[in-house]
Structure 1
Amino acid sequence: MEITPQAVVIPKETGHLEQGKYGPVFPRTPACYGFTIIADVKPGRAEAIRDHGYALAKALEADPHLLAPLKLHYLRWVLFDDDTRFMYQGIFDTDFDKYTEDAVALFGKAGVNTAFENLVGFPEDWKTNPGAFARFVREHHCPSFIEYGEYPYVTADEIKKALRVRSALSEMLDQMQ
């Protein structure tokens, strides 16, 4: 089976897209689903955002599957413009509505806060109000206009399964030698 790389252009206007619980359902692309937000950092809070990054990395060392419910491929956090602005990029396998609800539930269950609390306009009631969380993300979302996938439409679970098969095959071949 040959995998052919693909790209999809995402429309600028979203009025014709199916509407989900929290707004338009952006199409699944060869890179799966995702969003990019850019928001202003509350004055003096850039170090708190960095601290959240360190805390997340440490939590993942303790429990590598902590974020598994989010079906993530990648996350990227960037502080820029002299630490006055923050960019969050996430690529995941579920649509925006499910990701939002899963993220709010996950952080609530784990009893942790989010780096987003250090951003101007982030709702204080986000833990009990997924809609407010979603509105903030939608208001700060900078949509892609094209997305490309070298291995299009492949889920994180499928990638992990393929890597397990490769590992098992490699081990089997090593034992045959």
Structure 2
Amino acid sequence: MPNDDDWTRPAAMAIPKGGYFEEERGRYGPIFPKTPACYGFSIIAKVIPGREDAIREHGKVLEAAVAADPTVLEVLKLHYLRWQVFPIGDDQYFQYQGIFDTDFDKYTEDAVALFSATGIDTVFTNLEGFPEDWKTNPGAFVEFVRKHHVPSFLEYGEYPYVTADEVKKALRLKAAFSTMLDQMQ
């Protein structure tokens, strides 16, 4: 069993095929396991033909939203997001990789609420099979993600199980010490 309290030692975790050690049920089905990298999921889905530019533009929309309000995505407790568009044959596919601090059910509910409140649509609306009623039907959102999720088989954390808030707190403390030391000189 992982020691969630020991962030001083890097940790790696091999994950069984299928993505679960022991299936735990949440509100929307199985819960993806917590790993040294915290929680997360990766999907690969086919882009609706002609929508690649819309996906890239959506990246600019999120960039502008974060520039205007650096806390706009805070409720998601994100560490990292990575988006990629790539060809397979004549088709374009989108890959979403997200690492965050909450379990998948909470992340989903928070994402649906966030995008509904801000008026920013999810980039997933550009993907084949994404439900039109995603804003009012979190279960449909979850079903899409589960259908397109590609489980990791290894996750690594240089500072395992540390939350995004803990990282920010440590960096604020570092800045405060730095300022104090500068003032002492």
> What TM-score, normalized by structure 1, do the two folds share?
0.96
4+ residue segments displaced more than 2 Å: 13-16
Structure 2 Cα separation of the partners of residues 15 and 5 of structure 1: 20
Corresponding letter in the other structure for 1:111 = G
1:49 corresponds to:
55
Percent identity over paired residues: 67
Q: Of 8, 20, 33, which residue of structure 2 is paired with 1:3?
A: 8
Does the 8 Å CA contact 1:15/1:24 hold for their aligned counterparts? no
Q: Is residue 77 of structure 1 aligned with residue 57 of structure 2?
A: no
Q: List aligned pairs for 1:91-170, cutoff 5 A.
A: 91-170=99-178
Does the 8 Å CA contact 2:7/2:161 hold for their aligned counterparts? no
Structure 2 Cα separation of the partners of residues 174 and 165 of structure 1: 14
Does the 8 Å CA contact 1:34/1:91 hold for their aligned counterparts? yes
Does the 8 Å CA contact 2:15/2:21 hold for their aligned counterparts? no
Q: Of 71, 74, 83, which residue of structure 2 is paired with 1:68?
A: 74
Structure 1, unmatched stretches of 5+, are none
Does the 8 Å CA contact 2:79/2:164 hold for their aligned counterparts? yes
Structure 2 Cα separation of the partners of residues 2 and 76 of structure 1: 24
Corresponding letter in the other structure for 2:17 = K
Structure 2 Cα separation of the partners of residues 153 and 112 of structure 1: 30
Deviation string, structure 1 residues 11-31 (Cα, Å, up to 9, x no partner): 224484111112211221000
Structure 1 Cα separation of the partners of residues 153 and 29 of structure 2: 18
Structure 2 Cα separation of the partners of residues 147 and 77 of structure 1: 18
Structure 1 Cα separation of the partners of residues 107 and 136 of structure 2: 15
Structure 2, unmatched stretches of 5+, are 1-5
> What TM-score, normalized by structure 2, do the two folds share?
0.92
Q: Of 62, 65, 72, which residue of structure 2 is paired with 1:59?
A: 65
Aligned length in residues: 177
C-alpha RMSD of the superposition: 1.5
Q: Residues 2 and 22 (structure 1 numbering): CA distance in 2 closer, same or farther, change over 3 Å?
A: closer
Q: Is residue 40 of structure 1 aligned with residue 42 of structure 2?
A: no
Corresponding letter in the other structure for 1:34 = G
